């Protein structure tokens, strides 16, 4: 006697569930990497370096010479806040942290493109450079590339990735 089973529709991927650990953070399914695993560790480390550098730079500039270039120095402080938020959110993982990381990386990309463009079109408004001036030129254009990599990594590690790539 043979048992008959219904054929499975391979076009429809199995449901992906996200478990919750005791701390309340989402635990990614086994086939979806965490935002802080693998290449995500390097991303978190680079964001951490930029968070420290931008915070130190902005803190010093605001404390000692804010009147020289208030716009530039306050934009450096904004970039520091964005880098700190992205670092912690990418390292933490979980649903809320992922949303914070998406917002931080998006704000960073918008900031670096906006400030980069304005610093080229209206250099008199930026007598001192910011982290995002000329698209991050002073930092080897890493500020321009970093949010793109961050957004791509968040997309790659999203919990529902398997259903999106199966189409």
The tens place of each residue's pLDDT in the chain, 167 residues long, gives: 555 555 554 444 444 444 445 445 445 445 556 776 788 899 999 999 999 999 999 999 999 999 998 998 999 999 999 999 999 999 998 899 999 999 999 999 999 999 999 999 999 988 888 899 999 999 999 999 999 999 999 999 988 755 445 44
**Six-digit token pair at 58?**
């902005």
- Confidence at residue 37, expressed as pLDDT on a 0 to 100 scale: 74
Q: 75 by DSSP, 3-state: which? A: helix
- Confidence at residue 117, expressed as pLDDT on a 0 to 100 scale: 96
**Six-digit token pair at 117?**
């463009």
Q: Is 97 left (phi over 0), alpha (psi -120 to 50) or beta?
A: alpha
- Confidence at residue 3, expressed as pLDDT on a 0 to 100 scale: 55
Query: What CA–CA distance (Å, rounded) separates 33 from 35?
Result: 6
> What are φ and ψ of residue 131, in 5° steps?
-60, -35
- Confidence at residue 109, expressed as pLDDT on a 0 to 100 scale: 98
- Confidence at residue 101, expressed as pLDDT on a 0 to 100 scale: 97
Start-to-end CA span in the chain (Å)? 37
Q: Is 134 left (phi over 0), alpha (psi -120 to 50) or beta?
A: left
C-alpha dihedral (88, 90, 93, 98), degrees to nearest 10: 110
Q: Which helix (H) or strand (E) covers residue 7, if one does?
A: none
- Confidence at residue 125, expressed as pLDDT on a 0 to 100 scale: 86
Residue 134 DSSP label? G
């Amino acid at each position: 006697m043979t048992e008959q089973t219904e054929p499975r529709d391979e076009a429809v991927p199995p449901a992906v569930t996200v478990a919750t650990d005791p701390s309340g953070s989402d635990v990614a399914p086994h086939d979806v990497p965490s935002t802080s695993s693998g290449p995500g560790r390097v991303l978190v480390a680079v964001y951490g370096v930029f968070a420290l550098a931008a915070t130190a730079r902005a803190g010093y500039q605001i404390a000692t010479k804010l009147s020289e270039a208030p716009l530039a120095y306050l934009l450096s402080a904004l970039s520091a806040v964005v880098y700190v938020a992205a670092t912690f959110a990418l390292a933490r993982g979980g649903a809320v942290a992922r949303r914070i990381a998406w917002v931080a990386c998006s704000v960073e990309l918008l900031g670096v493109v906006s400030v980069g463009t304005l610093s080229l079109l209206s250099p008199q408004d930026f007598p001192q450079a910011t982290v995002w001036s000329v698209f991050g030129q002073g930092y080897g254009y890493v500020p321009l590339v970093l949010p793109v990599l961050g957004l791509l990594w968040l997309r790659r590690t999203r919990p529902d990735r398997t259903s999106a790539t199966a189409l």
